Amino acid sequence: MSNLAPAPTAETCLGEPAAAPVLEALPGRLTDLGGLPIRRLLPRSQRRLVGPWCFLDSYGPLTFSSGKPMDVAPHPHIGLQTVSWLLEGEVVHHDSLGLDGPARPGVLNLMTAGRGIAHSEETPPENGGRLRGVQLWVALPEASRDAPPAFEQHSALPVMGLDGGLATLVMGQWGGLRSPAGAFSPLLAADVSGWADARLVLPLDPGFEHALVLLRGGCRLDGQPLSIDTLYYLGCGRRELVVDSEGEPRLLLLGGAPFEETVLMWWNFVARTTEEIVAAREDWEAGRRFGEVPAYGGPRLPAPPFVARPVPRS
């Protein structure tokens, strides 16, 4: 995905982990991509990071019989990984390394931007007529953010049995399992399915901060019914989470060690200084650094205007 509505200035994102368990609800902010509803869950002014997770868009559900609901022309990224995970439908990725792959339910598309990559994402001509998924970005830590760009696809992710359900481990380590997807700091992303009307128990690492998003179905947490596409920030210090299923909930569990670095986000860039953002923007506009995505049949996205405002020290 491309950040559809970037602010004209960079956004300063620092971790503000709650040391003890909390329950903060952040309803997704609705935008629209040519008829495809998208809910922005991160970053938000109230919370910008959960561990290294710095961006989360949830899109769909959408049923369509014609057209191309996802059509994001080539655009650049630096300093992050993009995690594309679908519940329904198909999205094809093409990038400036010449790699491609269709993401579909159960198949993770993971792109490491490092010092710079460009990609497009679109609904393929042959599709199931439905679309529902999430896209997440992981901020890369200082030691890894100039890593060479890479694209990985994983269709054999670990599955963990839980009291009251099961989970696919998309990224990171959880309960003795490790996702084969490459990660650069301690983190967790899991797609959790609860059995109908069961008590679902999720073991957690108390050193991580966590967040939970209900993607479909219904459930309660601490007696409170959860809303779909709302980010529930949970803080640190939890050893487990007990969710009461109502129907068969589908949940996204995110976690990570509190991210110690302050990052600057603008458009599709995760950086540390405005100078880096200016340089990346100029390189994209001049056709440098990022390469081309010849497999995409159309023009690339132009960079929006950027106002390099002094960034307050944090």
Q: Which is nearer to Mn ion, 120 or 179 (CB)?
A: 120
* Closest distance to Mn ion from the beta carbon of 246 (Å): 35
Of 102-131, binders to Mn ion (CB under 5 A) are none
Q: What number of chain residues touch Mn ion (CB under 5 A)?
A: 1
Shortest spacing between CB 226 and Mn ion, in angstroms: 28
Looking at beta carbons only, is 2 or 193 nearer to Mn ion?
2
**d(C-alpha 76, C-alpha 60), whole Å:** 24
One-letter amino acid of 86:
L
Cis peptide before 43 (omega within 30 of 0): yes
Residue owning tokens 């059509």: 71
Q: Which two tokens stand for residue 122?
A: 């679109």
Amino acid making up residue 58: S
As a whole number of angstroms, the distance between CA 28 and CA 44 comes to 9
Kindly tell me the burial class for residue 204, based on how many C-beta atoms sit within 10 Å of its own C-beta (0-12, 13-18, 19 or more): buried
User: Residue 48 CB, nearest distance to Mn ion (Å)?
Assistant: 18
Question: Cβ 285 to Mn ion, closest distance in Å?
Answer: 17
Specify the residue, 57 or 244, whose C-beta has the smaller distance to Mn ion: 57
In the bound state with Mn ion, the residue whose beta carbon lies nearer, of 189 and 257, is 189
What is the dihedral angle through the alpha carbons of 237, 261, 305, 309, rounded to the nearest 10 degrees? 110
Residues in the chain: 314
Site string for Mn ion, 221-260 (x = CB under 5 A): ----------------------------------------
DSSP for 55-113, written as a single string: EEEEEEEEE-SSS-S-EEEEEEEBSEEEEEEEEES-EEEEETTS-EEEE-TT-EEEEE-
Residue 56 or 214: which CB sits closer to Mn ion?
A: 56
Nearer to Mn ion among residue 225 and residue 302 (C-beta): 302
Interface mask toward Mn ion for 1-40; x: CB under 5 A: x---------------------------------------
Q: Among all chains, which residue has been given the structure tokens 């769909």?
A: 60
Q: Are 138 and 83 in contact (CB under 8 A)?
A: yes
Closest separation in Å from C-beta 121 to Mn ion: 6
In the complex, least distance from residue 311 CB atom to Mn ion, rounded to whole angstroms: 24
Minimum CB distance to Mn ion smaller for 297 or for 310: 297
CB of 286 to Mn ion, least distance (A): 20
Closest C-alpha to 6, from 306, 313, 311: 306
Q: Which residues bind Mn ion (CB under 5 A)?
A: 1
